[in-house]
Chains A and B, each alone.
Chain A
Amino acid sequence: MKHARVLFNGSELDVTVEDSFAETGLLKSKVDGQLINEADVTWLSPIKEPGTIFALGLNYADHAAELAFEPPKEPLVFLKGANTLTGHKQNAYRPDNIEFQHYECELVAVIGKEGKNIAREDAMDYIAGYTVCNDFAIRDYLENYYRPNLRVKSRDSLCPIGPWLIDKDDVGDISNLKLTTHVNGELTQEGTTADIIFDVPFLVEYLSKIMTLKPGDMIATGTPKGLKDMQPGDTVVCEIEKVGALVTNIVSEQTFYGDKY
């Protein structure tokens, strides 16, 4: 089943996504079973109470090579603030006066059960399901302190996520899922989760050895090669086979912040 959260008539609402969604755009309220058309909602992050957001750097061998890095011997994990999250078909902004902002299409594993010191063979028991995120980076802001630093990776709106959370069992094997990114309809990134260096069971074991994982925590597993600069007006679609296609509109910093700009 696919679980989403939307704004409908001014209120947050938990919904499921109907099997006919691709043709009908229908969502079903978890409160009263009412069918709602996608056209009448604003998509929110599908994770109601986001916990710790872990993200992986350089976790696809081809992407590491693209950035001229040796593949890491140990996972490069960084944390993101929940302020970065926004929903499907929402705006993300390009900061003023920068040279290079790129998307990163990533499979996200969402934790469903609390655990510490979880063994690799038990790891999948702790996963609720999956979603897609676009973990944007602004390369101009990189500094060699806690790199990738928060200024690069914890900006408002720069981690769109969704459209929905799909139950783990509905996806099945995640070890060879196709990932693509299209910018304004043009294919710009293509890869497969088969190229992941540290896979989800490894990461659950690794992280839970350090700290307790809790429901709502999420692990964004990194991105394959295929970087491209983004500009206001661009539409980016990050898609992962069997999981979903996440659409994001790039706007200027001024448009995004409006009166607060």
Chain B
Amino acid sequence: MSNNPIVKGKLVCVALNDSEQFNAMQAEFAEAPYKGAPTQPVLYFKPHNTWSTDGSVVEWADGAESMVVGASLAVVVGKECCRVSETEALDYVEGYTLVHDFSLVEQNYYRPDIKGKCLDTSAPIGAEVVAVADPQALTVVTSVNGTVVNETPVAQLVRGVAELISTISYIMTLQAGDVIAVGFPGQRAPVAKGDKVNSVIAGVTELNNTLGE
């Protein structure tokens, strides 16, 4: 089923987890249709048709005028993880990699964004799974055609790695080979056909993709 050797079951992504975006949107959260800030992590799946690899060409969405990208630190689950506490959560991690989430521009967060998020090949996942002692100390830097467009310290996320693993594990049992993309920059970077996107976690791993024509 998988077009990627690392993700075997599900790829769970966390939206609205950049504290800069989360704080900036408070007034909007109070209005319809949201009528209140999220009290829980805002989760979405990138289904199996979206999975692709480091070095892959990402299809340009049919008829799309614009697309955006965000990069996230990704947790690769190493063993079955069901209802674990925050303090034990990291014991269930095999290691870390990167995920690019290519999508249409995020317009709102009220309904599941199937049209925007489920595009074929739109979720490249890094080639290696790397053990890291403290994922909260990492920073994800993304460049488009060599220019840095986003720099997101994991410490800037509203909910950190261990908390997310714990919370999600109470909703759904995680299995070895499930991947959680823990948070993307609130300001997703616009991309154009043919652009080269590079994300790096210094000393850990990097992920390179090119937009199709």
Contact = CB atoms under 8 A, between A and B. Distances in A.
A151 B62 CA distance: 31
Given A52-B47, A212-B49, A257-B83, A155 B171 contact: yes
B112 A146 contact: yes
Interface stretch (B37-45, B90-98, B129-137, B147-155): B37-45
A154 interface: yes
B114 A77 contact: yes
Contact of B110 (A77, A144, A207, A213): A144
A42 to B, nearest CB: 18
Nearest to B175: A83
Grouping DSSP codes into helix (H, G, I), strand (E, B) and loop, the A interface class, with mixed when no group exceeds half, is loop
B49 A214 contact: yes
Given A49-B1, A144-B36, A147-B110, A79 B42 contact: no
Interface stretch (B8-16, B156-164, B183-191, B197-205): B8-16
Contacts of A151: 40, 43, 171
Interface in B34-73: 34-36, 38-40, 42-45, 47-50, 62
B171 A145 contact: no
A216 B113 CA distance: 22
A216 B1 contact: yes
Given A76-B111, A211-B119, A145 B34 contact: yes
Contacts of B192: none
A240 to B, nearest CB: 25
Contacts of A77: 112, 114
A207 B114 CA distance: 9
B62 A79 contact: no
Given A54-B114, A141-B40, A143-B39, 8 more contacts: A52-B118, A76-B111, A146-B110, A154-B171, A156-B173, A207-B114, A211-B118, A212-B120
A255 interface: no
Interface of B: 1, 9-10, 12, 15-16, 33-36, 38-40, 42-45, 47-50, 62, 82-83, 109-115, 118-120, 171-173, 175
Contact of B111 (A51, A147, A150, A154): A147
Which 5 pairs show the lowest CB-CB distances between chains A and B?
A52-B47, A78-B112, A150-B43, A145-B42, A83-B172
18 contacts: A78-B112, A78-B114, A83-B172, A145-B38, A145-B42, A145-B109, A146-B43, A147-B112, A149-B40, A150-B44, A150-B172, A154-B172, A210-B115, A211-B50, A212-B120, A214-B49, A257-B82, A257-B83
A146 B111 contact: yes
Contact of A79 (B82, B110, B114): B114
Contacts of A146: 15, 42-44, 109-113
A149 B43 contact: yes
Nearest to A77: B114
Contacts of B48: 51-52, 214
B57 to A, nearest CB: 15
B170 to A, nearest CB: 9
A83 B12 CA distance: 12
A102 interface: no
A81 interface: yes
Nearest to B35: A144
Contacts of A145: 15-16, 34, 38, 42, 109-110
B55 to A, nearest CB: 20
Nearest to B39: A143
A79 B40 contact: no
Contact of A143 (B40, B83, B111, B172): B40
Given A79-B45, A154-B172, A211 B10 contact: no
A105 B6 CA distance: 35
Contacts of B42: 145-146, 149
Contacts of B172: 81, 83-84, 150, 154-156
Nearest to A80: B45
B119 A210 contact: yes
Residue among A51, A146, A148, A210 with most chain B CB within 10 A: A146
A51 B44 contact: no
Interface string A231-261: 0000000000000000000000000010011
A28 to B, nearest CB: 27
A212 B16 CA distance: 27
A77 B1 CA distance: 22
